[in-house]
């Protein structure tokens, strides 16, 4: 089955490591593309392309500020990712609970020896 177009699917958009790095930088607040590109060691056109994809899937917003365009995080777009990954939280919690119970059993067995 073919993958969904990157520009219409948040999961595919964040599969790209540089896009995730951009999102991390934008957590601190709005920034112009030139600063983002410089911080990540990429070209301005490359950063702009990634930002466009993130904007199209609803993870980034932009606004004009004088001669530059500022980009900011719109974390509401991460809701589908959060909901999907949240389903695994129960799995991991149960796994850690079982591990903790096993360790406690080992400790008790050693004390009884």
CATH number at residue 57: 1.10.10.10
Query: Residue 12: beta bridge partners?
Result: none
Q: Are 73 and 27 a contacting pair, CB within 8 Å? A: yes
Give the span between the Cα atoms of 26 and 14, in whole angstroms: 14
The whole-number mean pLDDT for each consecutive block of 10 residues of the chain, a chain of 113 residues, reads 59 94 96 96 96 95 93 92 87 89 90 84
Whether this prediction's pTM lies above 0.85 is answered by: no
For residue 50, give its domain range: 6-112
Residue 51 falls inside a structural domain: yes
> Which string of DSSP letters, residue by residue, matches 42-64?
--HHHHHHHHHHHHHTTSEEEEE
Considering its fold, how many domains does the chain have in total? 1
In a domain, 1, yes or no: no
Residue 61 lies in a domain: yes
């Amino acid at each position: 089955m073919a993958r969904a177009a990157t520009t219409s699917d948040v999961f595919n958009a964040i599969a790209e490591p540089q896009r995730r790095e951009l999102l991390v930088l934008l957590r601190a607040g709005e920034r112009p593309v030139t600063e983002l590109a410089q911080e990540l060691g990429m070209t301005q056109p490359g950063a702009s392309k990634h930002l466009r994809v993130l904007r199209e899937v609803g993870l980034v917003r932009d606004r004009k500020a004088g001669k530059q365009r500022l980009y900011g995080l719109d974390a509401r777009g991460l809701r589908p990712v959060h909901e999907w990954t949240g389903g695994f939280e129960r799995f991991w919690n149960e796994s850690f609970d079982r591990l903790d119970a096993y360790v406690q059993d080992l400790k008790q067995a050693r004390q009884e020896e």
